Structure 1
């Protein structure tokens, strides 16, 4: 849509349309009413206050309203129970009735118990699965352990035969012994610095580790100091 072109005639003031107001509201009821008519109108309004139809007949008049517990069922007046046959407990013995005394059984329970045990059949227990000593392979080494043992021996022989080895010289032995002694001195110094009271698990564990290291170092030093022939396997 094209915009309206500008014109000088648009500057001329245009007349405004007149506003037509609606007519004033007037009630259909008369504006004048006396006291009697007012009371009668209120009475009619009260008669239809219980949702009754205008001009209809109410089921119950407004004065007869529902009261508390009116719709509850009425129970009969309680009275004594009427049973055709009442269960009664046995009567208490009177003072004149005397209990029977001196009733003793003639049965010898010791002899009867002995006879029952003598004549009873012994219980049969199935011991076929529990007698392991009767099995033909009892006491023999299992086959899988023999196979594992033979396999370990073969691997050791192959490692000894295939790995190149050389004899350790005296100079190498002395150098190794010196290094072990230096390490022993370091571990011993740490062991001497331990506190006297080992009141925590950490201190006890530290002492056990140092004692284990000292014992292993002493064994290695003693082994190298004996002068036995030592073979060094090259990796």
Structure 2
């Protein structure tokens, strides 16, 4: 029996991870065993995970919306709850916006949301993604290589070509929304190993959202929508922010994923 098929080895790895505080030790052990190419690599991966590195950074990928998304060290790890945001955005790519709907993933990180929308859209779309972090942009370009997406680098809308102004049908902006004072409460694997700008949303968590909402009407097509994720405690303020920008906004909730998405539309 191959060494990585050994139940004893799997149990040993799970025990090491459990002792390090990994809640899903058995599942993580299975992933590490499948990812390692040698006993030495397995040992290094287990050690890195036990030391607190995110599993996705250790193996180099995350599963998101049925896709395997490359995630490089330091790049924000896509969360499963964001699959609700991806599904909401995908639903808006059909008629009357599609075929040919223009989709923009702002603050794209690894490009997971853009990749999920590209995979789920029933019609061809024109896809763009943007992030300010060079490592995130490199990662997104790998994940979106098969989609003909254009990936831009820069600060929010400053990254975009002027030709997109007034043409965006679906604007996904998974902006950071953790209040600065709550960063210290995050799990160490996020707090210590993911880029802080991808997490820190300012005093109330909505600083970046305010910037996006203020500029979004100039970039959205008539009837186009801005979609973003927020927390339950922030949703009332987030709705007020988008409405103050002249958008018609509503929130939706997916309890199983503990996910709240706001859709704000330019009428």
State the TM-score, normalizing by the size of structure 1.
Answer: 0.15
Larger radius of gyration: 1
Greater RCO, 1 or 2 (C-alpha within 8 Å, sep 6+)? 1
Higher strand proportion (structure 1 or 2): 2
